Amino acid sequence: MLHTRVETGEIPVIYLEGEIDLDSVETFRWVVSDAMRGAAEAVIDFSGVTFIDSSGTGLLVRFCLDYKAQGVQLKLSNIPPVVDDVFSMLKVRALVGDEAFLDR
Amino acid sequence: MGMPARKNPATLQVMRYDARRGTLKVIVGDPANVPREILAQRAAEAMRAHSFICHTTDDDDDALFGADEICFIPRSDHCEIISIHTNGWRHHHGDHRRSLVEILNDLAAAVARGTLSFVDDGELAEVTADGDEIFACAVDDPASLTQARAAVVQVLDRLDVEPDARRRLELCVSEATTNMLVHGGGQGTMRLLLVGDRLRAIVADRGPGLNFLNWTEEAGGVNQPSMGYGYKIILDNLERVYLHTGDEGTTLVLDRTI
């Protein structure tokens, strides 16, 4: 189960809490797409994420690259170890660029 | 009149050269048009040289027999031959997706280091006959993934498995069951067994098999951009993986010492 909350403003912050897997990947897609509408920059806060798999990571990589190509910055913050571990396995930093991570 | 058959954009073939008998056995895929004698010769050469040999499209086309990549992977008494035919289609849509050839490289490397074994019917029966079953469930929709993961964690907690191994096993079982839902016909079973000091997960479906066609499509309306990522996680985090695939489904056997 994935719970989401969006703090609106000039730079929206998307808070994620729970598990990002095949079951919740559509929720993840919807909340990010909606929050990014019209924004030049946004932040995803992963501090509440307790599980992520390749479905969630694949979608995140896709978001980062697609928005980057459109000149929109999607930043990733508060990555917990359980998420960072999967990002390391799939070389996410190399794929999306180190600059996408706020806690470098 | 029926619908015309769809041509797979990419297919995987796995054959095994038995050095003692000098025979070639098909493990996965369609052996049509494969020049078996030449393949056996190349496999014997790779075994003599004790060298992992990979031919890619950058090489002489004659070495490929129409494949995009063909790998000869010598083992102690046999040589695995893994090839992929992509029929000119080489990349997923989207720059960040890994190419099928890269996936083949991951599979071949895992075979070379002894992590992955492609198995035929008889070998699968032998592997799955071992062990004491400690949990079994059906996985028939994405919502049941959470339950499958929770079951794994519960079992591992009971066995007092250290947190890092527990987390990696939970992730790998989740990836295997996700693959089953997305690519394996949307339903199947997950079993956990104790085999000596190892935990074994067996994830089985009755889907169309690992033919790559279903890896390229949007699955059930879910735009799944992680093709190949799940297998990479599984192969990087487990000690032994057995893969059986064919027209009647796919079975993954995942082993890790606990």
Give me the pLDDT at residue B210, please: 72
Of A55, A61, A95, which is closest to B224 when you measure between CB atoms? A55
Helix (H, G, I), strand (E, B) or coil at A71: coil
The mean per-residue pLDDT over the stretch A38-48 comes to 95
- Do B93 and B140 lie in a common domain? no
Mean pLDDT on A52-75: 93
pLDDT at A53: 94
A58/chain B closest Cα distance in angstroms: 5
Residues of B in contact with A25 (CB under 8 A): 222, 224
Q: What is the pLDDT of residue B183?
A: 79
Binning pLDDT at 50, 70 and 90, where does residue B224 land?
very low
3-state secondary structure string, B129-187?
Answer: HCCEEEEEEEECCCCHHHHHHHHHHHHHHHCCCCHHHHHHHHHHHHHHHHHHHHHCCCC
Domain-ending residue, one of B83, B114, B145? B114
> B159 and B67 in one domain?
no
* Nearest-CA distance A10 → chain B (Å): 28
A52-56, A61-65, B91-95: the lowest-pLDDT one: B91-95
Say yes or no: B66 and B161 in one domain: no
Looking at the domain assignment, is residue B29 inside a domain? yes
Task: Examine residue B1 and state whether it is found in any structural domain, yes or no.
Answer: no
End-of-domain residue from the set B54, B86, B114: B114
**A54/B226 Cβ within 8 A:** yes
Q: What is the pLDDT of residue B200?
A: 95
- The answer to the question of residue B185 being in a domain is yes
CA–CA gap between residue A63 and residue A74 (Å, rounded): 8
- CATH code of B226's domain: 3.30.565.10
Chain-chain contact of B230 with A54 (C-beta, under 8 angstroms): yes
Pick the CATH number of A2-100 from 3.30.70.20, 3.30.750.24, 3.40.50.2300, 1.10.569.10: 3.30.750.24
Task: Identify the domain boundary among B93, B114, B135.
Answer: B114
* Residue ranges of domains in chain A: 2-100
Of the pLDDT bands very low, low, confident and very high (cuts 50, 70, 90), residue B95 is very low
In chain B, the number of structural domains is 2
ipTM, two decimals? 0.91
- Residue B222, pLDDT above cutoff 60: no
State the average pLDDT over residues B204-214.
72
Q: Count chain A–chain B contacts defined by CB atoms under 8 A.
A: 72
Asked if B232 lies within 8 A of A62 by C-beta distance, the reply is no
Say if CB B212 and CB B175 are below 8 A apart: no
Which residues of chain B lie closer than 8 angstroms to A59, CB-CB? 223, 225-226
Q: Which domain holds residue B201?
A: 121-257
Residue B32 has pLDDT above 70, yes or no: no
CB spacing of A53 vs B171 below 8 angstroms: yes
Per the confidence metrics, is the pTM higher than 0.95?
no
Same domain? For B226 and B188 the reply is yes
Q: Chain A residues with CB inside 8 Å of B170's CB?
A: 51
Question: Do B127 and B252 share a domain, yes or no?
Answer: yes
Phi, psi of B120 (to 5 degrees): -90, -175
Res B5: pLDDT: 45
Across residues B117-139, what is the average pLDDT? 93
Of residues B217 and B165, the one with the higher pLDDT is B165
Q: How close B87 gets to chain A, by Cα (Å)?
A: 25
What pLDDT, on a 0 to 100 scale, did the predictor assign at position B212?
57
Q: Give pLDDT tens digits for B109-124.
A: 999 899 999 999 999 9
The answer to whether residue B5 is domain-embedded is no
